[in-house]
Amino acid sequence: MMVRVLIIEDEHLIRWSLRQKFEARGYQVAESETGAAGLAALEEEQFDLLMLDYKLPDMTGLDVLGKIREKDKDIVVIMMTAFSSIESAVDAMKLGAYDYVTKPFDMDQLLRTTGKALETTKLRREVRELRRHMQQTFGFDRIIGDSPLMAELYGLLDRVAMSSSSTLFLRGESGTGKDLFARIIHYNSDRAGRPFMNITCTALSETLLESELFGHEKGAFTDAKSAKRGLFELSDGGTIFLDEVGDMPLNLQAKLLRFLEERTFRRVGGTTEISVDVRLIAATNRDIERAIEEGAFRGDLMYRLNVIPIDLPPVRERGNDIKLLAQYFVDQFAKDFKKPVTDITKGAYDKLFDYAWPGNVRELRNVMERAVLLCDKDAIGPEDIMIGRAGYASPANPATFVLPADGINIHELENDLLRQALARAGNNKTQAAKLLRLSRDAFRYRLEKLGLL
């Protein structure tokens, strides 16, 4: 990358001397004799390094620096002066000068300083570009769907992202995009410039999970050869995302509860209280109410996490969003695989709409990826859609039940439907109730009535 340097200095000899040294290093150099000329040059071009004299014919270097910082936060500025004072140095640093050097220069020392300064500006711009990229990647416009449920969700996420709430709870089936929505909340909040840390609570043993979250002191356990900061410390000022928090061991639940109540914690093996400012986003696909009943999850922790509950709707309840999502994935994978697939036939859509999508968006994405790979035409057909067992759809909306000529025992039918719903939902009562379009209380009432609870 070509390094561009601007020298704002009224003494010709100093400008010449600096130009010789910088051009010998391969830098591109521009010069200005006055503050006004320098500011005009900065309006026309972008520079990486500014060598700025403190005393100029028309204004002070501090005046120039103040105007620069209103527009350019990244350019590295090194102040030069023959009249060094602590007060002027402090003023320059307050306005964002990288360093302050006194004439006459030690050129070798000056070049070392400018080298470090250029590394600083390079890192600043890389970080700024990364933040811009992440904010674009996880903007609200990246969410696919315009169903009423999603419109309601967008409004809630927008309000929550910019709120001061430090605890959020995402609930939804596997594959509904909890990780994506956690990132969208973070990168659309005033914490976007700080770290986003995430961890899956089932990915590590209890001991390792505690160390990853809270850190440990040297000697806290056999392999703790040095102190280590955990995710809570590393994400200070930002967001930490705890996925599958419903499966967190009870001992760790107690420590997490203490943190939520006091906003302090101790490293494993430590005695010092550490305070951090983090937004905690927890997520689960588990039936938390049932876990509390079974003693596997603390009720007091659930209440602390559930400050702002956010329910993510399953794909089967999002109506025409299935079509939007499918087309989005086709466009994406056709581009990735360099295939001329551009459309989805009605027959393929019928097959997609007739499936229950237990794996939600994640499953739909995988199905469309496979469809694009299999398709040898310009449109996805039903033969390319491989879903359900043996590649066939499981009807999400079966035909209306036809009463047999000799009638039926409605209690046996209800019993059978309740059992099927529980089996389909993996014994998750909340999800089983949704399959039968019942509230959870109505579902439990029927279970009790038939002796199934």
Pairing of strands 239-243, 343-344: unpaired
CATH code for the structural domain at 140-311: 3.40.50.300
Fold match, 4-133 / 140-311: yes
* pLDDT at position 8 over 90: yes
* pLDDT at position 155 over 50: yes
Determine the pLDDT at residue 72. 66
Domain spans of the chain, in order of start: 4-133, 140-311, 322-391, 410-449
SS3 call for 70: coil
Domain 410-449 CATH assignment equals 1.10.10: yes
The DSSP-derived string for 107-175 is: HHHHHHHHHHHHHHHHHHHHHHHHHHHHHHHTSGGGS---SHHHHHHHHHHHHHHTS---EEEEE--TT
Q: What is the mean pLDDT of residues 318-335?
A: 94
Q: Tokens standing for 9?
A: 């200095």
404 pLDDT tier (thresholds 50, 70, 90): low
400 pLDDT tier (thresholds 50, 70, 90): very low
The DSSP-derived string for 87-109 is: HHHHHHHHTT-SEEEESSP-HHH
Determine the pLDDT at residue 442. 76
The more confident residue out of 442 and 13 is: 13
Spatial contact of 440 and 429, defined as CB atoms under 8 Å apart:
yes
Distance CA 175, CA 361 (A): 5
397 pLDDT tier (thresholds 50, 70, 90): very low
Under CATH, which architecture does the 4-133 domain have? 3-Layer(aba) Sandwich (3.40)
What integer best gives the mean pLDDT of the chain? 87
Determine the pLDDT at residue 405. 63
219-263 pLDDT, tens digit per residue, is: 888 888 899 999 999 999 999 999 999 999 999 999 999 999 999
344-394 pLDDT, tens digit per residue, is: 999 999 999 988 898 999 999 999 999 999 899 999 999 999 986 545 444
102-112 pLDDT, tens digit per residue, is: 888 888 888 88
Q: What is the mean pLDDT of residues 160-178?
A: 92
SS3 call for 386: coil
* pLDDT at position 399 over 60: no
Distances (CA, A) of 401 to 160, 316, 424: 43, 20, 19
Determine the pLDDT at residue 295. 93
Amino acid at 134: M
Determine the pLDDT at residue 393. 47
Under CATH, which architecture does the 322-391 domain have? Orthogonal Bundle (1.10)
> Could you tell me which residues are beta bridge partners of residue 197?
240
